[in-house]
Amino acid sequence: MIGRILRKRYKIIGQLGYGGFGETYLAEDLDIPTETKPKCVIKHLKPRAIAKNIPYADIERLFKKEAEILYKLGQTYTQIPKLYAYFEQRKNMYIVQEFIDGNDLSQEITSGTRWKESDVIRFLEEMLKILVFIHEHNVIHRDIKPSNIMRRKFDGKLVLIDFGLVKPITTSGILKCTIPVGSPGYVPVEQFQGRPKFSSDIYALGITAIQALTGIDYPMQLSIDATDEIAWRDLAQVSESLAQILDKMVLYDFRKRYSKAAEVLNDLNFNILRLQPSNYEWLSPVRIGRKWGYMDDRTGQVIIQPQFEDAYEFTEGLASVRIGEKYGYIDTNGNFIIHPQFEWAYYFSEGLAEVLINGKSGYINVTGKVVIQPQFDMANLFSSGLAEVCIGDQYYLIDKTGKFIEE
């Protein structure tokens, strides 16, 4: 394949990996009119190796659906590779994706090297935010492990790659079409039996975190206790609060495990992160050229690249920014938690933020849900459970339900 040109556009320049479901190659995009051609990743899929008894037309339809999902995920979230193209050529299927320049975590999670607990906490926080996003889109990754997590070189952020095993689920929570896939040691029993769930990704992430804490070579080196649970605590120096979260992430019975990534993140936030200094305290808006981004006040390093028409300071871990004519909210990784949809948006205070919709002010919560309908000509931040608002010439106090307290 080296030197081959696909679709008269993508020149294969190296092999990145191979497996039972296909090969992965590094390629150059010859259509881009620059002297140095930009790199991309091409996955040559082997559908017959995945499902020998399924008609080719069904396999083709399945992969096209998965390509649509990958496109939607990558376009929306900066820590998932963008999908550039999906095509067939001589009964072969190809996916073209963004090339992530960096190193995968198999180079950092190495034998005999134990991560500090603080590093594992930051790792979990960042990865859980990615999982919350894909789980909200009813997608299970199914192959989370160190080699499928990249640390991007230019900003140090984690990127979840290799969505080749991704599967959409129905509203009933049952996969439309699935077979037992994944990497040994990271796969829970229900996924091995061909019935993966959201909690299967949580299991794999928990195993990866335990591997980093203990410094073991492979997860299969971990022993199992009399109750069929993983015995790992004696191999790590870890606080009880983090150990309890990890234990619940990797429970044998998926019914006792965390069911969604948001539940794990909530526990991490409440039991650990809220007791630590907040990252957003050191992030400040910075204008470079005509765009706004964010820099770390301590180092002067740009953490979130300039891409916004307007940007406010972070409060409660979220910041209001403008794309085009609409405002939304990003987290400290630069990912949109609440997509641009408001005419104006202000700081969060006590879990609520003022937004402007059709010329009137109302309040949203951290999920973007409108909890106090837009009806005010002016509105202020909440303090001690109350906020001052104005309708016409009259000023009022309201509580967090929107109830008027007094004029």
Over the stretch 187-200, which tens digit does the pLDDT of each residue have? Answer: 999 998 989 999 99
Q: What are the helix (H) ranges across 287-386?
A: none
DSSP, residue by residue, 160-195: E--GGG-EEB-TTS-BSS----S-TTT--HHHHTT-
The answer to whether residues 145 and 186 touch, using CB atoms and an 8 Å cutoff, is: yes
Q: Quick one: pLDDT band at residue 49, thresholds 50, 70, 90?
A: low
Instruction: Round the average pLDDT of the chain to a whole number and report it.
Output: 88
Q: How remote is the C-alpha of 80 from its chain's centroid?
A: 7
Q: How confident is the model at residue 17 (pLDDT cuts 50, 70, 90)?
A: confident
Residue 351 has pLDDT above 80, yes or no: yes
Task: Answer whether residue 154 shows pLDDT above 90.
Answer: no
Q: What whole-number distance in Å separates Cα of residue 158 and Cα of residue 109?
A: 14
CA nearest neighbour of 394 among 406, 384, 382, 381: 406
Q: Specify the higher pLDDT residue, 315 or 278.
A: 315
What does the pLDDT read at residue 174? 40
* Total count of residues recorded for the chain: 407
Query: In this predicted model, what pLDDT tens digit does every residue of 285-316 receive, in sequence order?
Result: 999 999 999 998 888 889 999 999 999 999 98
Cα gap 223→312, rounded to integer Å: 49
Asked about 143 being catalytic, the answer comes back as yes
Q: Are 317 and 278 in contact (CB under 8 A)?
A: yes
The position carrying tokens 């509203």 is 171
Tell me: pLDDT of 99 over 80: yes
> Lowest mean pLDDT: which of 154-158, 351-355, 399-403?
154-158
Largest CA distance in the chain: 75
Mean pLDDT value of segment 359-381: 94
Provide DSSP, 226-284. TTS-EE-GGGS---HHHHHHHHHHT-SSTTTS-SSHHHHHHHHHHHTGGGS--GGGGEE
Q: Is 70 exceeded by the pLDDT of residue 229?
A: yes
Q: Which of 143, 201, 267, 331 is catalytic?
A: 143
d(C-alpha 20, C-alpha 235), whole Å: 34
| Residue 116 reports pLDDT greater than 60 | yes
Nearest Cα to 216, choosing from 230, 232, 229? 232
- Lowest average pLDDT, out of 12-21, 96-105, 361-370, goes to 12-21
The confidence band for 13, taking pLDDT boundaries of 50, 70 and 90, is: very high
